[in-house]
């Protein structure tokens, strides 16, 4: 559930070089679009279902075709989406959130049509020619990525250590004093025991995370492990011990939820969150960070 | 439906929910947690030549330092807590 407050797209951005709704500058003139924001690459894209979509700059999306591939793009103004403006705007949480959601909304809509390789946020070219040149230059990579993700979707699983990773809270550190100054010694002993069991609990928790990831990976054609999300971002007191993406054949999606449910039963001390399906962001082409797991029939 | 499941029903593959029309994409996108989205759009997706390159004069691409993207994620520390995510 999204609870981060978000200014309306037209609201907070008005004071800065930002979109004002319909690709118009603050003076009301049409902004000269001289950038092309690239959302994603597919083989073919049907535009009719995308006619009502509005993108990061508030404008319609269109396509650029080259080398047998199709890029889904939007004309954007460099006043908001050029290098300097982007550096500023990416620091603005409201702008970043609105832009990320608009970027995803377009990608998600196009992904419904077929295999699609999303671009990282803020991929901007100076025009159709350079966009097309990029397609031609990278066509082999894009085709490999399309093949890798075709007929598959991404699912995300996050795991959090439960409260019992901090044991020893039940036992007090004050207790009956032993003979001869035993209170201090007793405290120290109890503290040592507490630390030892915390350490064991953490080790067990991490071992559980590995077991969980291994089991989930068995169902995936590929996996990618993301860094745990910072606690300031999630707001969770419990540490995140797994943040991973799994690429699953389309027909395995429903089973995956069952697998996660079973893992919840098996690991009651750990909170598991499942998200998805996602367009294949995590498998678009960062091959060096991808783990390919063996697929079981 | 189990509320902690976190799977948005509308996003279940259509083969499973033929009878239910998918909701407005715009509504669906709002329910995605921002941190999960940023994991994907900032750290995922195809990267062109390691950076996106900004054109000045005759250079053909728009470039932003990926450092800027990483920095902007760290500024999310001021975003505050998501009560849904805390506790069990």
Neighbours of A184 (CB within 10 A): 10
Residue A90, pLDDT score: 78
Residues A189, A197 contacting (CB under 8 angstroms):
no
| Selected residue with higher pLDDT from A41 and A1 | A41
Residue B82, pLDDT score: 39
| Selected residue with higher pLDDT from A205 and A223 | A223
Instruction: Determine which of A201-215, A217-231, A237-251, B5-19 has the lowest per-residue pLDDT on average.
Output: B5-19
| Residue B58 domain flag | yes
Which of A96, A130, A261 has its CB closest to that of B61? Answer: A130
| Residue B62 domain flag | yes
- pLDDT tens per residue across span A90-125: 777 788 889 999 999 999 999 999 999 999 888 888
- Examine the pLDDT at B31 and tell me if it is beyond 90: no
Secondary structure element (H or E) that encloses residue A78, with its range: helix A78-81
Buried-state track A251-264, b at ≥16 Cβ within 10 A, e below 16: ebbeebbebbeebb
pLDDT band at A179 (very low <50, low <70, confident <90, very high): low
- Examine the pLDDT at A127 and tell me if it is beyond 80: yes
Query: CA nearest B26 in A: which residue?
Result: A105
Residue A226 to residue B54, Cβ atoms within 8 A: no
Strand partners, A247: A154, A222
| Residue B9 domain flag | no
Question: Is the reported ipTM for this assembly greater than 0.90?
Answer: no
Domain housing B33:
24-79
| Residue B52 domain flag | yes
Residue A100 to residue B81, Cβ atoms within 8 A: no
Residue A64, pLDDT score: 96
Mean pLDDT calculated for residue range A13-22: 42
Secondary structure element (H or E) that encloses residue A154, with its range: strand A152-161
Q: How far apart are CA A117 and CA A150, in angstroms?
A: 10
Q: How far apart are CA A236 and CA A213, in angstroms?
A: 20
pLDDT band at A4 (very low <50, low <70, confident <90, very high): very low
Q: Which chain B residues contact residue A130 at CB under 8 A? A: 55, 60-61
Residue A235 to residue B34, Cβ atoms within 8 A: no
Residue closest to A270 by CA, chosen among A178, A205, A216:
A205
Residue B79, pLDDT score: 47
Q: Per-residue DSSP letters for A17-58? A: S---SSSB-TTSSBP---EEEEEEEES---SGGGTT---TTS
CA dihedral A39, A40, A43, A44 (to 10 degrees): -30
Residues 6+ apart with CB under 8 A from A245: A154, A155, A156, A223, A224, A225, A226, A278, A281, A282, A283, B40, B44
Domain total in chain B: 1
Query: CB burial class (10 A; 0-12, 13-18, 19+) of residue A102?
Result: buried
Residue B49, pLDDT score: 54
| Residue B31 domain flag | yes
Residue B30, pLDDT score: 59
- Examine the pLDDT at A243 and tell me if it is beyond 50: yes
| Residue B15 domain flag | no
| Residue B30 domain flag | yes
Q: Which chain A residues contact residue B13 at CB under 8 A? A: 153, 250-251, 253-254, 277
């Amino acid at each position: 559930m999204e609870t981060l407050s978000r200014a309306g797209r037209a609201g907070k951005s008005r004071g800065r070089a930002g979109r004002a709704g319909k690709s118009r500058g603050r003076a009301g003139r049409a902004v000269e679009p001289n950038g092309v924001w690239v959302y994603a690459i597919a083989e073919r894209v049907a535009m009719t279902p995308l006619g009502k979509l509005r993108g990061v700059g508030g404008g319609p999306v269109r396509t650029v075709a080259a080398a047998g591939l199709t890029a889904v793009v939007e004309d954007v103004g460099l006043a908001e989406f050029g290098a300097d403006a982007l550096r500023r705007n990416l620091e603005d949480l409201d702008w970043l959130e609105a832009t990320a959601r608009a970027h995803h909304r377009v990608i998600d809509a196009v992904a419904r049509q077929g295999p699609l390789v999303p671009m990282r946020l803020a991929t901007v070219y100076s025009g159709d020619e350079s966009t097309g040149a990029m397609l031609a230059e990278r066509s082999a990579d894009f085709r490999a990525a399309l093949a890798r993700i075709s007929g598959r979707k991404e699912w995300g699983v996050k795991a959090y250590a439960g409260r019992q990773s901090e044991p020893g809270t039940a036992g007090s550190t004050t207790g009956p004093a032993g003979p001869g100054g035993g209170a201090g010694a007793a405290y120290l002993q109890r503290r040592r025991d507490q630390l030892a069991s915390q350490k064991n609990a953490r080790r067990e928790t991490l071992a559980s995370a590995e077991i969980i990831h291994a089991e989930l990976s068995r169902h995936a054609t590929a996996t990618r492990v993301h860094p745990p999300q910072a606690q300031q971002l999630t707001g969770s007191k419990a540490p995140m011990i797994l943040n991973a993406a799994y690429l699953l054949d389309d027909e395995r999606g429903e089973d995956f939820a069952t697998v996660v449910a079973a893992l919840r039963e098996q690991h009651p001390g750990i909170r598991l969150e499942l998200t998805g399906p996602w367009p294949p962001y995590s498998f678009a082409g960062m091959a060096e960070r991808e783990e390919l797991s063996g697929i079981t029939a | 439906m189990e509320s902690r499941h976190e799977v948005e029903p509308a996003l279940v593959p259509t083969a499973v929910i033929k009878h239910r029309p998918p909701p407005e994409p715009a509504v669906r996108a709002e329910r995605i947690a921002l941190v999960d989205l940023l994991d994907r759009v900032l750290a995922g997706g195809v990267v062109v030549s390691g950076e996106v390159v900004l054109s000045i004069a005759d250079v053909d691409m728009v470039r932003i330092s990926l450092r800027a993207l990483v920095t902007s994620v760290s500024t999310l520390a001021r975003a505050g807590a998501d009560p849904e995510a805390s506790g069990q």
